[in-house]
Structure formats: structure tokens, C-alpha cells
Amino acid sequence: MMQFFEDARQFMPILLQGAYVTVQVAFLSLALSTVLGLTLALMRMSGNPLFYVPAVTVITGLRGIPIIVQLMYIYFVLPEIGIDLSAFTAGVIGLGVAYSAYHAENFRAAILAVDRGQYEAALSIGMAKAQLMRRIILPQALRIMLPPYGNITIMMLKDSSLASAITVSEVTRAGQLIASSTFKNMTVFTLVAFIYLVMSLPLTALNSWLERRFAAK
Amino acid sequence: MIEVKEVSKSFGALTVLKSMSFTVARGEVVCLIGPSGSGKSTMLRCVNGLERHDSGLISIDGMTVDTKSKTIGSVRAEVGMVFQRFNLFPHMTALGNIVEGPVQVRGRPKGAANEEAMALLHKVGLSDKAESYPSQLSGGQQQRIAIARALAMKPKAMLFDEPTSALDPETVGDVLAVMKDLAHEGMTMLVVTHEMGFAAEVANRVLFLDRGEILEEGPPSELLKRPQNERTRDFLQRVLHPGERTVRDDRP
Ligand SMILES: Nc1ncnc2c1ncn2[C@@H]1O[C@H](COP(=O)(O)OP(=O)(O)OP(=O)(O)O)[C@@H](O)[C@H]1O
Ligand SMILES: [Mg+2]
């Protein structure tokens, strides 16, 4: 037991550096996937096939391909056509793009859940389509989409570990490196698991707070 | 003010409006009655372009209603609509609901819009509910806010689609009272309703709609008291005496 704490004290600074990268990857890919997801959702719901056909194709494709394969594609295949990204950038873009499909489906479901009467009421006072979305539909959809959004955020935090496969030095990768040179698997991966848990707990708490807050009204 | 000329409308194979024509003159109150599914709501929704008619012509104060045109928004802004299920914006207060149109669509300054909204709240008897959210209001109160929201656009005409049929009986009177006031102030109104008392008292004319056609029309004193058409008679019998079964009901 003493040995565990001894090792922990030694490994922790490296692991925490990894955790910092994990937070960066998770946060940046969350921002990217949110913007892309909303764009895809709006494209998919526009009545114009010029927009919704590409959107449906992209969403279906992204959902059907494992995230780790998408990451490898971006990191190992794109350089062959001259797009050379750092592991970190490739990880953020890969996760962001992959998760945009899930955000898009969440946003779409939330927007569709807003009562049709709301569109009609907004149209009947003369609102234009963009105004109607911004002022009436999206604020209501926001309440519906927040709980699933929180869940997706937690999944993204955990799935940022997939970036270790393309050598992003986030916490899982840092753990792997320490473990393979010290053979202290149990200590290292217990610490890694603990770090993920600690990072996700505030998100879980925030999530249930949002759920309660928006259920109230 | 409202002109409907040979308007037809189908949903797939189902023809809902069959070459319908009528007009509502400025300041006139016209009630649209008829059995469920006869096309009353569809007719009303075509008038402000929430539904697209297949053929024929609809115009409001000379402006053609064309859902594909760029100006459909400004036509809709001239016509107030009150829905059966209120459709207030749940994330805005009563006051917020009322100023939304004037501020966002008409570009009115917030202060002026607020003042006008307060006057409208007073008019519908809900001055004390300005800061309430729809979920905190009764059905009758919500519907009066919905009427105020429509009036805030200073519409040339108002459309009502069964404004009282989703309400508890004891709140129906308040809503009808607001509508009567409007009628007396000279608002042009097209009202789908099952409230025969309202039609009898307020309407200048009543149109009886059945299976997408106007079967009979006339002043309420005529149409409601001495209906000429057999189907009008059957319908009124059923609405006015819901307990009794009509023996002659040969409808499919
Ligand atoms: N969006 C739609 N798609 C398909 N059919 C529709 C649609 N809207 C209405 N209908 C059909 O058109 C017919 C007329 O409907 P409408 O709502 O105009 O009747 P209504 O006279 O208002 O009836 P109610 O008194 O029950 O409100 C009905 O048979 C209805 O099922
Ligand atoms: Mg109806």
C-alpha cells in the first residue's frame, strides 16, 4: 500500500499533464462538434435536398464508422493527400467530426419535439423563418436537448481516450507509456481511471442540476 | 377585406375545400360553422397562408395571399390569428408574448411596444398578469393573452379557430366578452365556432360549411332559426341538443 502512494506521487505529475491535454481535446472537440452538429441538424431539416441529402449522408456515414477508425483516417491517411495534421489537431477534428452526428440527431429530435403550434403562432404574427427559429423554436428546443447534451459531453470526455491511438499524449496515453516502462499496471491504470472519474463527476452534477432546473418550468 | 374566390384544397386524395367563395367586408363579423372535418380550420389557415391552397384566389385588403411569395410574412402580419390551443410562447411572459411581434417583426422600440402591450392587457382584463408565464395562467387567461398578442400587430382582420372549445366552461365567457368588444369596435372577424349564442348575438353573417362546401349562408337570425338546408338543420339539431340522437343521420 505504501508502495502505491509512493508510485502515485511519482506518476501523478505526468498523468496530470496528460489529464490537461484530455480536457483540452474534450473541450475543443465538444465546441467543434456542437457547431457542426447544429449545422448538420439545420441542413437536415431544411426542405431543400441540396442541404439535407449531404447532411443525411454525412450523419449516416459518421454513425456507421467507429470513431477510432475515423481518427486513424485523419491522422494516417490524410497526409497521403497532403493534409498533414499534428496528432492533437487530428484528435480534436476527428472527435469533433465524429460526435457532430450525435449532436445533430439530438438537436434535430429536440427541434422536432417543439409543438407545431409554436411555428404557426410565430408565422401568424409575421415572423420570417430565421427569426422564428432563433426567437421561438431554438430556445424551447434548448431545454429539451440539454440533458442528452450533457450525456454526450460525458461520453466525449471518456472517448477522448481514443486519441491515444493516434499518439495524442492525453492521460490514457500517458498511462500507457508509464506502465510499459515501469510495469506498474495496477497503480497506473487505477490512477488513470480515478482521474477520469474525477473529471466526469462535475459534469454529471452539472447535468442533473440542468435537468432539474429545466424540468421546473 | 377578406376575399376568397373559388378556392380548392386537397390533402393527397382527400378534397377538403371545393371551390369555395365568400367575402368578409370591412368591420363585418362572419362565423363559420359546420361539422367536424368539414374544412373550417383548413379554410381559415389558407386565409393567412399557414396552409397553401391548390387553386383559386385569396386576398386580404387587396394583398394576394401566396405562401410562396416573399411578402407572405407581411401579409400574415396584417391578419391576427387565434388558435384553439392558444399556442402562446411558453418561454416568454404574457407581456413578452405580446411585444414579440411588434418588436421583432415591426421593429417597434421596446418602450413604446411595452406601453401598447400594457394597454392591451388592460383591454383583455389581465393587467396584473403581465409578468406571468403561460404555464401559470388558466386556459381562459391564456386565450385572452393570445388575443392581445394578435391585436398587438394592429391587424386589419382577425381569424379565430374555435377559440373557446379547449376551455373550461367557466372561462369561456371572459374570452367571448373580449371578442364581442372587438366586434363592437369594428374589427373585421372571421370566426370558426360552435358557440351558437355568440354567432346569434355578434355575427353579421353565418356560413354553414359541410364537406368542403358552403351549403348555406345568411344572417344568424335566418340561418340559425330557419335553416333551409337539411344538413344545416341536422347539424344545428346536434349542436344545440347534443343529448338527442337525430334519426335522419345519413352521413357516412
Ligand atoms: N395537414 C393535413 N394533412 C392531411 N389531412 C388533413 C390535414 N389537415 C386537415 N386534414 C383533413 O382535412 C379535413 C378537414 O380538416 P379541418 O381541420 O379543416 O376540419 P374542421 O372543419 O376544422 O374540423 P374540426 O371541427 O374537427 O376542427 C379533415 O378530414 C382532416 O382530417
Ligand atoms: Mg378545426
- Whether A1 has a pLDDT exceeding 80, the answer reads no
Residues A115, B135: C-beta atoms closer than 8 Å? no
**Contact (Cβ atoms closer than 8 angstroms) between residue A156 and residue B183:** no
CA of A126 to the centre of ligand 1 (A): 23
Over the stretch A174-198, which tens digit does the pLDDT of each residue have? 999 999 999 999 999 999 999 999 9
- Whether B27 has a pLDDT exceeding 90, the answer reads yes
Residues facing B24 on adjacent strands: B2
Please report which helix (H) or strand (E) contains residue A110, including its range. helix A87-113
- Whether A109 has a pLDDT exceeding 60, the answer reads yes
- What pLDDT score does B209 carry? 94
Place of cell 403550434: A117
Among B16, B47, B238, which residue has the most ligand 1 atoms within 8 Å of its CB, making it the best to mutate? Answer: B16
Residues B79, A120: C-beta atoms closer than 8 Å? no
Place of cell 484530455: A22
Residue A147, C-alpha cell as written in the block: 440533458
Specify the DSSP class assigned to residue A46: S
Give the CB-side neighbour count of residue A12, counting CA atoms within 13 A.
Answer: 9
CA of A193 to the centre of ligand 1 (A): 58
pTM for the model stands at 0.83
Give the CB-side neighbour count of residue B170, counting CA atoms within 13 A.
Answer: 1
Give the CB-side neighbour count of residue A145, counting CA atoms within 13 A.
Answer: 25
Residue A176, C-alpha cell as written in the block: 500507457
Average pLDDT on B38-56 reads 94
C-alpha to C-alpha distance for A111 and A44, rounded to whole angstroms: 12
Please report which helix (H) or strand (E) contains residue A99, including its range. helix A87-113
**Contact (Cβ atoms closer than 8 angstroms) between residue B114 and residue B102:** no
Over the stretch A56-92, which tens digit does the pLDDT of each residue have? 999 999 999 999 999 999 999 999 999 999 999 999 9
**Contact (Cβ atoms closer than 8 angstroms) between residue B217 and residue B22:** yes
Which pLDDT band, with edges at 50, 70 and 90, does A47 fall under? confident
C-alpha to C-alpha distance for A32 and A105, rounded to whole angstroms: 15
DSSP string computed for chain B:
-EEEEEEEEEETTEEEEEEEEEEE-TT-EEEEE--TTSSHHHHHHHHTTSS--SEEEEEETTEE--TTSTTHHHHHHTEEEE-TT----TTS-HHHHHHHIIIIIS---HHHHHHHHHHHHHHTT-GGGTT--GGGS-HHHHHHHHHHHHHTT--SEEEEESTTTTS-HHHHHHHHHHHHHHHHTT-EEEEE-S-HHHHHHH-SEEEEEETTEEEEEE-HHHHTTS--SHHHHHHHHHHH-TTSPPTT----
C-alpha to C-alpha distance for B192 and B160, rounded to whole angstroms: 6
Residue B81, C-alpha cell as written in the block: 390569428
Which chain B residues contact residue A125 at CB under 8 A?
76-77, 100-101, 105, 149-150, 153
- What pLDDT score does B248 carry? 52
Query: CA-nearest residue of chain A to B85?
Result: A117
CA of B89 to the centre of ligand 2 (A): 21
- Find which of B76, B98, B145 to mutate to test the A interface (most A CBs within 10 Å of its CB): B76
- What pLDDT score does A87 carry? 94
Specify the DSSP class assigned to residue A164: G
Residue B70, C-alpha cell as written in the block: 416573399
Which pLDDT band, with edges at 50, 70 and 90, does B242 fall under? confident
Specify the DSSP class assigned to residue A92: H
Single-letter amino acid, residue A77:
V
- What pLDDT score does B228 carry? 87
C-alpha to C-alpha distance for A97 and B9, rounded to whole angstroms: 44
**Contact (Cβ atoms closer than 8 angstroms) between residue A95 and residue A159:** yes
Which chain A residues contact residue B80 at CB under 8 A?
124
- Whether A23 has a pLDDT exceeding 80, the answer reads yes
- What pLDDT score does B226 carry? 87
- What pLDDT score does B227 carry? 87
Q: Which ligand is nearest to the CA of B39?
A: 1
